[in-house]
């Protein structure tokens, strides 16, 4: 499968596609974004990605899938602005944060979305909300997640935090949580975040 321009096959409602769209917007990459229903994946996508999952990125002869792989490829292919630290130790720490976010939080969101009315969803909502309240204070120290600069870790967190109303999760507006609320405002006000939103995602907070 070969395309003359870079193409992202993207689920317009999914956090994993959203994080890649944020990276593309941060980098100012010219890309064709094709909104795709994950339930009716085309032959063209299956040719590029044997799992038929979204997001899938096609860049000339190269086809990539799995959002973290795509994000790191884009960060290396388009080095400015860098979205991972330069030094190996800091880079490894960022990758570890992303791993922990996926392991601890992404599964909770997936459980809520899979069956919003179920008991598992209620437990996942409670656990995710409590986790967010617990970590809120870390945003007092630095403007972004454990960093002075916006990184791929923030690209993973922003779609999750944007979806809180859709997930049925509301955060208390108190002193403990204020650093997290301020962090969310910083994320959502970034031009790249605004640009990354699909119409369906905008509706979440309209």
Same domain? 150 vs 184: yes
**pLDDT at 129 exceeding the cut of 60:** yes
- Asked if residue 197 belongs to a domain, the reply is no
Neighbour count for residue 2 (Cβ, 10 Å): 10
- Asked if residue 183 belongs to a domain, the reply is yes
Sequence-distant (6+) residues with CB within 8 A of 100 are none
Q: Give the pLDDT of residue 206.
A: 87
**pLDDT at 1 exceeding the cut of 80:** no
SS (H, E, C) the chain: CCCCCCEEEECCCCHHHHHHHHHHHHHCCCCEEEECCCCCCCHHHHHHCCCCCCCEEEECCEEEECHHHHHHHHHHHCCCCCCCCCCHHHHHHHHHHHHHHHHHHHHHHHHHHHCCCCHHHHHHHHHHHHHHHHHHHHHHCCCECCECCCCHHHHHHHHHHHCHHHHCCCCCCCCCCHHHHHHHHHHHHCHHHHHHCCHHHHHHHC
CA distances, 104 to each of 43, 96, 173, 195 (Å): 33, 12, 24, 28
Structurally, the chain folds into a number of domains equal to 2
At residue 194 the predicted structure's pLDDT band, cuts being 50, 70 and 90, is very high
Same domain? 97 vs 155: yes
Among candidate residues 77, 99, 115, the one where a domain is terminated: 77
The whole-angstrom separation of Cα 146 and Cα 9 is: 31
**pLDDT at 109 exceeding the cut of 70:** yes
We report the CATH number of the domain holding residue 59 as: 3.40.30.10
We report the CATH number of the domain holding residue 106 as: 1.20.1050.10
The arithmetic mean of pLDDT across residues 176-180, rounded, is 96
- Asked if residue 121 belongs to a domain, the reply is yes
Percent of the chain with pLDDT over 90: 92
pLDDT, the chain, mean: 94
- This prediction's pTM: 0.94
Q: Give the pLDDT of residue 3.
A: 57
Q: Which two tokens stand for residue 12?
A: 């317009």
Angle between helices 67-77 and 15-27 (to 10 degrees): 0
Q: Give the pLDDT of residue 5.
A: 81
Same domain? 115 vs 174: yes
Same domain? 58 vs 106: no
Chain segment 81-104, per-residue pLDDT in tens: 999 999 999 999 999 999 999 999
Q: Give the pLDDT of residue 126.
A: 96
Chain segment 2-51, per-residue pLDDT in tens: 555 899 999 999 999 999 999 999 999 999 999 999 888 899 999 999 99
**How does DSSP classify residue 13?**
T
Which range marks the domain in which residue 32 is found?
7-77
Chain segment 49-89, per-residue pLDDT in tens: 999 999 999 998 899 999 999 999 999 999 999 999 999 99
The whole-angstrom separation of Cα 52 and Cα 39 is: 10
Q: In what order do the strands lie in the sheet with 62-65?
A: 32-35, 7-10, 56-59, 62-65
Among candidate residues 77, 98, 122, the one where a domain is terminated: 77
């Amino acid at each position: 499968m070969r395309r003359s321009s870079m193409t992202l096959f993207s689920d317009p409602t999914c956090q994993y596609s959203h994080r890649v769209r944020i990276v593309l917007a941060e980098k100012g990459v010219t890309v064709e974004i094709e909104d795709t229903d994950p339930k009716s994946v085309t032959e063209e996508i299956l040719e590029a990605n044997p799992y038929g999952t979204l997001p899938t990125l096609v860049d000339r002869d190269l086809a990539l899938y799995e959002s973290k792989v795509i994000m790191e490829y884009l960060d290396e292919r388009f080095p400015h602005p860098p979205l991972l630290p330069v030094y190996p130790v800091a880079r490894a720490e960022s990758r570890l944060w992303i791993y922990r976010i996926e392991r601890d939080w992404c599964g909770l969101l997936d459980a809520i979305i899979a069956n919003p009315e179920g008991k598992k969803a209620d437990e996942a909502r409670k656990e995710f909300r409590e986790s967010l309240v617990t970590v809120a204070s870390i945003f007092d120290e630095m403007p972004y997640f454990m960093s002075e600069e916006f990184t791929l870790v923030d690209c993973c967190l922003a779609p999750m935090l944007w979806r809180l109303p859709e997930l049925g999760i509301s955060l208390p507006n108190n002193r403990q949580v204020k650093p997290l609320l301020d962090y969310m405002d910083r994320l959502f006000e970034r031009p790249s975040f605004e640009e990354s939103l699909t119409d369906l995602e905008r509706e979440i907070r309209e």
